[in-house]
Amino acid sequence: MSQIALHYLWWIAALLLLGGEVLLPGYFMLWIGLAAAVMGVVLLAVPGLTALAQAVIFVILAFASCFLYWKWVRPRLNRVPAGNERLNRRGEQLIGQRYTLCEPIVQGRGKAKVGDGMWLVTGPDLPLGATVEVVGIDGTTLRVKATDVA
């Protein structure tokens, strides 16, 4: 095969790797696919590279691109924006809030009205209508304490 057409093989390999990333997402094949695409560009710029030189350069590019992802891109993707630490953890968002009991707490268990729903609560025995403050959460049960409402 002529040296001019070899760069197309690298681009086809890149497309196959990127397609594999679509089927099996995880970012790994994406970065190796990008290395293959860059290798195609390198071979287009320097058409006389031997197969061994191409393989060595591709391995270096693949390791470099994966390292770039692991050390620079991945930490930024996993970062939670400030103020959103409790996003998608509704129970934790309720800590510190005050609610009214819609069922009294008897033997440590009752229910409080939260928005348009009711949540199970645990805490000291309190009568119906008492105001409680959420101090923690156990699964889907809120831990509450009595509040002094004047």
Within 32-127, strands assigned E span 98-106, 109-114, 117-122
Beta-carbon contacts of 62 under 8 Å, excluding residues fewer than 6 positions away, are 31, 32, 35, 36
pLDDT (0 to 100) of residue 134? 92
The pLDDT assigned to 150 comes to 47
CA gap 121, 91 in Å, rounded: 11
Q: What is residue 138's predicted lDDT score, i.e. its pLDDT?
A: 87
Looking at domain 90-146, which of 3.30.830.10, 2.60.120.260, 3.50.50.60, 2.40.50.140 is its CATH number? 2.40.50.140
Check residue 67 and give its pLDDT. 92
pLDDT at 92: 74
Per-run averaged pLDDT (10 residues), the chain, 150 residues: 72 92 83 94 90 95 92 77 58 84 93 89 92 89 81
Q: In this predicted structure, what is the pLDDT of residue 62? A: 95
For the chain, give every domain's residue range.
3-78, 90-146
What is the pLDDT, as a whole number, of residue 90? 67
| pLDDT in the model for residue 22 | 87
